[in-house]
Chains A and B, each alone.
Chain A
């Protein structure tokens, strides 16, 4: 990890204060690195100006891969590689393939989505996410501002956070 990263960390007690602080702080021109909260705060994504997740697109891609793979595998196995007579049906007939295809589509899109999510949000195995303040897993909301992203000084940012309702302002170096 980079050792020269400097963060200003604002701690908030209340999610409504946090929400308005996020808007105010961004209006003042401060770029927020990330906000951590013990529970989902409604409207935080919009306040932070995040784009919508593209996870559904990934899910679709994984799903269609599953569909194609399942159809191809069954057709090739039962139709060409080792044709079997099952109830006098055609070797490669679509109806009995549908349940397997459906399940495989669901399986791949579900696994793919979970794995993609874990990787994108830095929660994959052997990756240790930064802890700005452990109390963000208990009862505090934590706003991290990266000094490298901002032109304002450490003191100025600290003052802006304090003005907008932060109960503490700390520093954190990684």
Chain B
């Protein structure tokens, strides 16, 4: 059977993570100073010219209704009242990174739950890595709640109370939607429903995380197979909850930034992006642990399965992406196309729009197509970071254009903050991993995992 194996979180690994974090912080500070200086000089003119361009495209292609024009005007005016551009840019980047890493954290738990619900045997030996990734959930929850109160005025247009009272800023469309945020309180007051959802989702995720984790760790000690049955039952319940909560959180935290816009594909779209990123992070950690001499029982068959997961779900993400795009492109309804005009035809986001498809579809599809590519660590080490970075861009393009309009950009600020988030995330995950058995000791399917052969 399996010998006791524990991951040792070495001081030199900690130091490397710390250095990455500090470098990220320095880049971030540098980026903030640069944004503060450049923001005053050309921000105004550039912005006006570009937004005129957008409205020209809009009015040229479609007949905008009276109401829409009005809300568009409101949005433009609001723009000048919010925080200065550099601060907005920080908020946007903070929110985007937190959404991105929240996703990776919750996917850790989701992966474990799927393995239990499907009674999978192959993954019995690597399940502790996604479990450790799940320990990011509480951190992400606290960050999300705190950040929301900081960024809400700048990121979430619907939080402005003057939209819901008769007057020049009155917005009929948003008043109709307001129950989704404010119920049971009056529109424009405190968004109790929205906040409650956030707390309940993170609460449930964390509850199931600790519960399933408790069963998994108890199995190490007494070897009772009942723990596996309990974990399977909990996983099944969690999956049902996750099906609803992942979709709703995508609408709440990402889609409501572009308040007037909506897409029924969006919950799936965010989930697909989270899922393939999470799979890549799991694989990356497994591969790096194996290179460092851990996880002796993992062989190329297990890597092959992880690779197939990433390959398949890169295509799944593309399928969802395209399903959303094609319908909006074909129907050509103005209230839907604004979303893509802001991303496809607007200066700082256009290249990211195409890079997104290239990094998340073309490259993984071609590089992972052969069997050998998925079975060798060298290729996995190339493709997984591409997918992770690609989906960081994906989330960048989901969050930023709706807030920054044409003033966005990717510079030291964004890269630095991503490095800070990444290193804190890695520290939490590896720290949690070092506290548990790296490979389960009495998992009923361990023998199957050891003999896994495809």
Interface residues of A (CB under 8 A from B): 42-43, 52, 56, 60, 87-89, 95-96, 98-99
Contacts and interface: CB of A to CB of B under 8 A. Distances in A.
B332 A95 contact: no
Contact of B329 (A42, A60, A95, A99): A95
B452 to A, nearest CB: 12
Contact of B322 (A42, A43, A60, A98): A98
Contact of B330 (A42, A52, A96): A96
Nearest to A63: B369
B148 to A, nearest CB: 36
A95 B330 contact: yes
Contacts of B325: 95
Main DSSP-derived SS at the B contact region: helix
B453 A42 contact: yes
A7 B330 CA distance: 65
A99 B322 CA distance: 9
Contacts of B453: 42-43
Contacts of A88: 332
B326 interface: yes
16 contacts: A42-B453, A43-B453, A52-B371, A56-B370, A56-B371, A60-B369, A87-B332, A88-B332, A89-B330, A95-B326, A95-B329, A95-B330, A96-B326, A96-B330, A98-B322, A98-B326
A60 B369 CA distance: 9
Nearest to B329: A95
Interface in B368-406: 369-371
A56 B370 CA distance: 8
A99 B326 contact: yes
Contacts of A99: 326
Nearest to A86: B330
Contacts of B370: 56
Contacts of A60: 369
Interface residues of B, number: 10
A123 B369 CA distance: 28
Nearest to B453: A42
Contacts of B371: 52, 56
Interface in B242-275: none
Interface of B: 322, 325-326, 329-330, 332, 369-371, 453
A20 B251 CA distance: 59
Contacts of A56: 370-371
A28 to B, nearest CB: 27
Nearest to A42: B453
Contacts of A89: 330
A88 B62 CA distance: 12
Given A56-B370, A56-B371, 17 more contacts: A42-B453, A43-B453, A52-B371, A60-B369, A87-B330, A87-B332, A88-B332, A89-B330, A95-B325, A95-B326, A95-B329, A95-B330, A96-B326, A96-B330, A98-B322, A98-B326, A99-B326
A99 B330 CA distance: 13
Nearest to A60: B369
Contacts of A42: 453
Contacts of B329: 95
Minimum-distance CB pairs A-B, first 3: A95-B329, A95-B326, A98-B322
Contacts of A96: 326, 330
A113 B453 CA distance: 24
A87 B329 CA distance: 10
B317 to A, nearest CB: 15
A43 B451 CA distance: 12
A89 B369 CA distance: 34
A96 B326 CA distance: 7
A105 to B, nearest CB: 12
A15 B325 CA distance: 53
A98 B325 CA distance: 12
A103 to B, nearest CB: 13
A98 B321 CA distance: 13
Contacts of B326: 95-96, 98-99
A22 to B, nearest CB: 17
A52 to B, nearest CB: 8
Nearest to B325: A95
A42 B330 CA distance: 50
A56 B329 CA distance: 35
A132 B250 CA distance: 61
A88 B326 CA distance: 15
A110 to B, nearest CB: 16
Nearest to B332: A87
A5 B127 CA distance: 55
B330 to A, nearest CB: 7
A89 B325 CA distance: 15
